[in-house]
A and B are shown apart, each in its own frame.
Chain A
Amino acid sequence: GESVGLHLPTLSVQEGDNSIINCAYSNSASDYFIWYKQESGKGPQFIIDIRSNMDKRQGQRVTVLLNKTVKHLSLQIAATQPGDSAVYFCAENSWSKLSFGAGTTVTVRA
C-alpha cells in the first residue's frame, strides 16, 4: 500500500511568501527521502534529498526538514516565485524501493 502521503492536495501562496509542503510517511525504517517538482506537461525533477541521519538540509531557496519522531517531512520554499508553481511530491526509500506520494499542487498568486 501507499506509505507516503501529503497533508494537503493544494496550496495557494502569495508571490514572495514562503511555502511549506508537508509529507507523512509510515515506515520508520525508511532511511532516505527525496522531494521532486513536476511542472505541467513535464517529468518529475529532483529538488533536494535528505538521509535519516539528518534533520535538516538546505539548498538554493529550499529547505527540507525531517522529523523522525512523528515520521514527517516538509519542504520549505523561500520567497516563492511564479516559476515555483508545480506539483511537489515526496519519495521515500523503504526497503530499497522508492515509494511516491500523490503530490501537492502549489499555485503562486501574483
Chain B
Amino acid sequence: NAGVTQTPKFQVLKTGQSMTLQCAQDMNHNSMYWYRQDPGMGLRLIYYSASEGTTDKGEVPNGYNVSRLNKREFSLRLESAAPSQTSVYFCASSEGWQGETQYFGPGTRLLVL
C-alpha cells in the first residue's frame, strides 16, 4: 500500500515549456487534490476532483489544467510554464469530500527558469 505517489520528484523547465505532473493513489479514495506550497505560505489549492469524472477550480487555478484519468489517477498540466510557477506541488486524496482528512504525496519540486 503505497498511499499517494507522485512523479517526477524534481523537474527543471524553461519558461514556455509544458509538462504534466502525475499522481496516483491506491486507497480507493473518491476525492483528489493538487496544491502548491511556497515559502512562508500555507498550502494553496489549485484544482480538485470530488469524484471520478469531475474537476473544479481551487484558489489558484490560473496557468494549470487537470485530468482525472480514473479513480486512482489525477494529473496536473502546465501548458506554458512561467517562473511564478516555481514551487513544490503536492497531490492529496481523501475518502470523501474536501473537509475530511487528506493524505499527501511526497511532492514534486518544480523550478522554472
Contacts and interface: CB of A to CB of B under 8 A. Distances in A.
Q: Are A and B part of the same complex?
A: yes
Interface of A: 2, 4, 32, 34, 36, 41-46, 49, 89, 91, 93, 96-103
A99 B42 CA distance: 8
Interface in B34-53: 40-43
Contacts, number: 42
Interface residues of B, number: 17
A29 B42 CA distance: 21
B104 A100 contact: no
28 contacts: A2-B42, A32-B100, A34-B101, A36-B104, A42-B107, A43-B104, A43-B105, A43-B106, A44-B90, A44-B104, A45-B104, A46-B101, A46-B103, A91-B102, A93-B99, A93-B100, A96-B98, A96-B99, A97-B98, A97-B99, A98-B102, A99-B42, A100-B42, A100-B43, A101-B42, A102-B40, A102-B42, A103-B42
A89 B40 CA distance: 12
Interface in B89-113: 90, 97-107
A49 B101 contact: yes
Contacts of A32: 99-100
A46 B94 CA distance: 12
Nearest to A87: B37
A2 B42 CA distance: 9
